[in-house]
Homo-oligomer: A and B are copies of this chain.
C-alpha cells in the first residue's frame, strides 16, 4: 500500500462512520483505509470488522485506491461478521429522488 501511494501527498480526511443498524455514528479522521479500519474498531468498540461499505448504496470499500477517491465526510458503514448492508428504511431509491 505504501508503494502504491508514494509520491501522493496524503492528509487525513474526515469520514462519518456508522454501525450496521445506524444506531451510532462517529466522525473519524483517517489518512488511509488501514488507518480508518484501525480507528473504527476502537471508536465503535468492535471486535472483528469484516467490511467497510458506503452507507449510501452498500458499495464495498476494499482497496486503498478506491478509498482515496472518497470525498470528505463520506458516510461509511462498518460491518461485523454476518452483518449486511441494508438501505435506509425511509429513503426512496435513487430513481425516486424528489427534488
Question: A: which residues have CB within 8 A of B?
Answer: 12, 14, 16, 24-29, 43, 53-54, 57-63, 65-67, 69, 72, 75, 88, 90-99
How many copies altogether? 2
Q: Which chain B positions have C-beta within 8 A of A25?
A: 53, 57-60
Give the complex CA separation of A62 and B45 in angstroms.
Answer: 13
**Interfacial chain B residues near A88, Cβ < 8 Å:** 93, 95
Residues of B with C-beta under 8 A to A93: 88, 90-91
Taking a contact as CB atoms under 8 Å apart, the answer to whether A91 and B97 are in contact is: no
The minimal Cβ–Cβ distance linking A93 to chain B, given in whole angstroms, is: 5
Give complex CA distance A12, B72 in Å.
Answer: 19
